[in-house]
Amino acid sequence: MSNQQNRFDLEWWVISKRNIYLLASLCVVAFVAGGVALYVRAYGNPFKSIKASNAEVAGARFISFEGEVRVVRAATRETLAARSDMPLHPGDIVQTQTDGRARILFVDGSTYLVRPNSVIQIRDNTSEDNGRRTNVRVAVDRGQINVRTEAQTEGTSNVVETHLTENKLTAETGASIGVNDNNTEEIRVTNGALETATRNGERTTLRAGEYVSVNQQGTIGNRERLLEVPVAVAPRNLEKIAVGTNGAGAARLRWQRPATGAPAHYRVEVATSPFFVQAGKVVERDKLSATEFHIGDLRPSVYFWHVRAVAASGQM
């Protein structure tokens, strides 16, 4: 009977610290990659919305706004309060309330100032040929907008349309287009030029310093020199008015006659609101022939005032 002995052979491997660290790093990377893959599968790409947002903001957007400004989305018809990070798409409607105004930047660099109590719709805001050709079209339903265009390349179009007219602005033009409550319209050009066409087929070009009105039938009125705004002389900005023994003060409002245009009379408004909303108006006087106006019984408060020149045609 023979005795059989069990034999165990041991082999030793010599592993450096660097290899251990490398192996541990690979395990950590694999673990993190697996966790990321599971997260993306469950919740989606977390950077997708950021990328999409940056692309959208490159279109029309608010530069600034104040007061109550609303946006009606074309896709959902949802009405939202304006936000500085809110992109504006074709079909969207911008509404300013009595105390609201908004300045919007478009793809061609033009800026639109939407005045209080106005409604506009963005019809087009597209760019072609890597930005060499742009198309901007805005419709004014009511109220007033001030537009300023920048230098334009060939094929660029910037158009403001209303119920009665279509207005194409040339490069480096400043203009104001208004739709009144009585369905008449007014067009003012401070610099540059604007080509306007009515629904009746009438066409004309307005240049710097010119004004026309459009009646309810779409007929363009006589061309006039643009009335400049009268320059306020007194009281000066932030000037304090003394209060009498009766607890009220008085002031004499004075202004200069416009340097250009032929004003028939003046209109003065005094209010406790910088937007001159109806609820905040203290005094409203029209048909003033003199360049000054006295106002009394001013109780302690902060007041704002402005004066407008009015031509015989109704231009203000």
CA distances from 227 to 68, 178, 190, 196, 278 (A): 30, 15, 10, 20, 25
State residue 3's pLDDT score. 55
Rg (CA), the chain: 33
Q: Is the dihedral of CA 219, 221, 223, 228 positive or negative?
A: negative
Sequence letter at residue 10: L
Residue 210 near residue 299, CB atoms below 8 Å? no
Residue 223 near residue 311, CB atoms below 8 Å? no
State how far Cα 291 lies from the chain centre: 34
Residue 153 near residue 132, CB atoms below 8 Å? yes
Say how many residues make up the chain: 316
The class level of CATH for 59-225 reads: mainly beta
- What tokens does 247 get? 């607890």
State residue 35's pLDDT score. 72
d(CA 187, CA 202): 15
- What tokens does 203 get? 């066409």
Pick from 285, 290, 284: nearest CA to 263 = 290
* One pLDDT digit (tens) per residue for the chain, 316 residues: 455 555 545 455 555 666 666 777 777 777 777 777 776 666 656 554 444 333 333 469 999 998 999 999 999 999 999 999 999 999 999 999 988 999 999 999 999 999 999 999 999 999 887 767 899 999 999 999 999 999 988 888 999 999 999 999 999 999 999 999 999 999 999 999 999 999 999 999 999 999 999 999 999 999 999 888 899 999 999 999 898 889 899 999 999 998 877 899 999 999 998 878 788 889 999 999 999 999 999 999 999 999 999 988 888 7
The DSSP secondary structure of 77-96, one letter per residue, reads --EEE--TT-EE-TT-EEEE
- Stretch (H or E) spanning 101: strand 101-105
d(CA 68, CA 27): 56
Q: Is the dihedral of CA 218, 221, 223, 226 positive or negative?
A: negative
CA distances from 223 to 20, 192, 206, 278, 316 (A): 88, 16, 8, 32, 14
**Helical segments of 122-266, H only:** none
Reduce the DSSP state of residue 228 to 3 states and report it. coil
Pick from 207, 229, 222: nearest CA to 312 = 222
State residue 50's pLDDT score. 44
- What tokens does 5 get? 């002995």
Torsional class of 18: left (φ above 0), alpha (ψ -120 to 50), beta (otherwise): alpha
CATH code for 231-311? 2.60.40
State how far Cα 62 lies from the chain centre: 5
